[in-house]
Amino acid sequence: MITPHIYIVGTAGCGKSTFTAGFKAWFTNMGVDVITVNLDPGAESLPYTPDVDIREWITLADIMDEYGLGPNGAQIAAADLIAVHINDIRDTINKIKTNAVILDTAGQIELFAFRKSSHVVLNALGTPAFIVFLFDPLIVRNPLGFVSMLLLGASVQFRFNIPFIGVLSKADLLEDDEKNKILQWSEDQDSLYSAVEEKRGDMYGHMSASLFKVLEDLGTYRRLIPVSAEELYGFEDVYNAVQQITTGGEDMSPD
């Protein structure tokens, strides 16, 4: 049986845990049995009850105490310790028969994006693996923020080379015209370029042009999927994107 592993990734506070809760609720509503895994050792409270929880092995508070570290140093140590415990975590996940595994990652995206431990995790937990990358609306409503986020997304893609699904998170916070503008930027390079030039003038024209060329070559321009975990819409489109890649379109049948 194919069991997709769907990693929910994004900048601090972009809505990963709430998305995880909403996605699980959507699957349950569709009669599809999926499990959630919390990979954030620093999570204090979660809007869902994880089926597997990294905090059973490691918590940020314990690491800070034990090693006398501050929160940032402890996050790095925690990321490395997750890699140490990954076989136990994998065995615990594999004991549960399920159609898909949704994994909520830690807020500090640089840990996931840049450190070797995340590779160890992805390799150990198996395939097919997907990254659902959440774009925070409060950052990407500004064209410069949008480009920065595309670059961050591109470096995550570059690092892992697994299917990447871009989501406009908390879409309910945006007015329709603002949301449509962001969606247009996500698939139409010229409209994004014009918006950036308008903000920055042509002082950095050459840099912008080179950057946009790189993003185009990387295939970064793909329409984001708007999702609201608050109003519960958009999950079907995310599911369809996963489905399309996993099975070429066939339904993940419930057990």
Least distance between Mg ion and beta carbon 45 (Å): 10
Least distance between ligand GTP and beta carbon 125 (Å): 19
Please tell me the number of Cα atoms within 13 Å of 18 on its side-chain side.
16
- Among 56, 230, 250, 251, which residue sits at the site for ligand GTP (rule: CB under 6 A)? 230
Least distance between ligand GTP and beta carbon 172 (Å): 5
CA neighbor of 14 nearest in space, from 114, 153, 214, 129: 153
- Among 16, 55, 179, 181, which residue sits at the site for ligand GTP (rule: CB under 6 A)? 16
> What residue is closest to Mg ion based on CB?
17
- 11 near Mg ion, rule: CB under 5 A: no
- Among 2, 13, 66, 72, which residue sits at the site for ligand GTP (rule: CB under 6 A)? 13
- 17 near Mg ion, rule: CB under 5 A: yes
- Among 17, 59, 117, 220, which residue sits at the site for ligand GTP (rule: CB under 6 A)? 17
Least distance between ligand GTP and beta carbon 163 (Å): 21
Locus of tokens 């997750």: 82
Q: What's CA 161's distance to the chain center, in Å?
A: 14
- Among 3, 18, 36, 59, which residue sits at the site for ligand GTP (rule: CB under 6 A)? 18
Q: 214: helix, coil or strand?
A: helix
Alpha-carbon gap, residue 9 to 156, rounded angstroms: 9
Contacts of 8 (CB under 8 A, 6+ apart): 16, 19, 20, 23, 102, 103, 104, 105, 132, 134
Q: Six-digit token pair at 55? A: 């905090």
Partner whose binding site includes residue 53, from Mg ion, ligand GTP, none (CB under 5 to 8 Å by kind): none
Q: Looking at 122-130, 141-149, 223-231, 241-249, which segment touches ligand GTP (CB under 6 A)?
A: 223-231
Cα angle at 38 between 64 and 50, to 5 degrees?
125
Restricted to residues 78-117, the positions that interact with ligand GTP (CB under 6 A) are: 107
Give the DSSP letter of residue 233. Answer: B
Supply φ then ψ for residue 215, to 5 degrees: -60, -40
Q: Which residues bind Mg ion (CB under 5 A)?
A: 16-17
Q: Which residues bind ligand GTP (CB under 6 A)?
A: 10, 12-18, 40, 107, 170, 172-173, 228-230
